[in-house]
Amino acid sequence: MDYIDYYKTLGVEKNASQNEIKKTFRKLARKYHPDLNPNDNTANQKFQEINEANQVLSDPEKRKKYDEYGENWKRADEFEAHRQQQQQQYQYQQTENGSDFSDFFESIFGRKTNVGGRNRGSTGYRGQDYNVELTVPLREAARTHKQILAVNGKNIRITVPAGIANGQVIKLNGHGGVGMSGGLAGDLYITFVIPEDDLFKRVGNDLYITVSLNLYTAILGGEQTVDMLDGKVKLKIKPETQNATKVRLKGKGFPVYKKEEQAGDLIITYSIDIPTKLTERQKELFMELQNLH
């Protein structure tokens, strides 16, 4: 069975209250209900998905099983029964059918682990790996900082290193699902999502920015203030600067991952603004310049 993230389907956090889940479902149901979208197959499919998610998450018992077993939540009772039966067999040293139960556990959880080199009675089954996405704005991704990540109702404090890339995955050992029968916990895989910034475009560790330059400064020269990630810088403009002129500031770009003392470059492209709403006198002056030229 393919894993369906019911929390993502409804658009709620994993620690959302029952009341929040109820309100969110009602809002989405009104939007995608088939009666309101009779000829919209996409809306009808969406309604089925949110309805399925609500049936699980609105039921505390089903939600508990889903949080614990993920895509295998429907087999939770079956698994618990087998686990109890296995433990009883261990207690009475009836190991002749142990392989059958191991096959059952492995069919659900895959790998098995031997904890501390102990005997078969201590052999456990590794917990499920979790995958989450964490959205970090570009400017925050440029500095090392702490964040709280909610996973299955638990808050995990993580350190986000400066220079993290969009789509980069970091693994946290032992922060996944709980192991069974003494097995190791699964791992947590965090995929970082860094949205486009309103000023800067990131390419590798280089940053690109387009800066407007008025016509008079471009012709006569002067100074121009330019934004950087960590402040502003005042640059000298050469006379007769052309449109689309590029200037590179070494080491003023994005930090290199886990090497904050190193950074890419900031590449500035000047875009010359043509003045509008000229007065008659200004037009006359431009015409004089044209004639002189």
Would you state the pLDDT for residue 115?
45
Q: What is the pLDDT of residue 117?
A: 40
Task: Answer whether residue 188 shows pLDDT above 90.
Answer: yes
Radius of gyration of the chain (CA): 30
Amino acid found at 279: T
Mean confidence (pLDDT) of the chain: 84
pTM of this prediction?
0.58
CA distances from 202 to 128, 171, 232 (A): 35, 24, 18
DSSP code of 253?
A: S
pLDDT tens for residues 140-180?
999 999 999 988 888 999 999 999 999 999 999 999 888 88
Strand intervals (E) in 30-120: 112-114
Give the distance from CA 128 to its chain's centroid. Answer: 20
Among candidates 167, 166, 148, 168, which has minimal Cα distance to 158?
148
End-to-end CA distance of the chain: 75
d(CA 103, CA 170) in angstroms, rounded, equals 31
Greatest mean pLDDT among 4-13, 30-39, 62-71, 206-215 lies in 206-215
Dist. CA 80–CA 63, nearest whole Å: 16
Greatest mean pLDDT among 12-21, 151-160, 192-201 lies in 192-201
Local confidence band at 90 (pLDDT 50, 70, 90 cut-offs): very low
Q: Which residue type, as a one-letter code, is found at position 231? A: G
Q: How confident is residue 254, by pLDDT bands cut at 50, 70 and 90?
A: very high
246-249, strands of its sheet edge to edge? 201-203, 206-214, 266-273, 246-249
Contacts 24+ apart (CB under 8 A), 102-111: 104/79, 105/79, 105/180, 105/181, 108/69, 108/72, 108/75, 108/79, 109/180, 109/183
Answer yes or no: are the C-beta atoms of 192 and 203 closer than 8 Å: no
Residue 135 confidence (pLDDT) above 50: yes
The least confident of 20-34, 57-71, 192-206 is 57-71
CA distances from 150 to 71, 96, 157, 170, 186 (A): 19, 43, 9, 16, 16
pLDDT more than 70, % of the chain: 83
What pLDDT shows up at residue 279? 93
Residue 113 has pLDDT above 70, yes or no: no
Q: Which of 31-35, 50-54, 248-252 has the highest mean pLDDT?
A: 248-252
On the question of pLDDT at 103 being above 70, the answer is: no
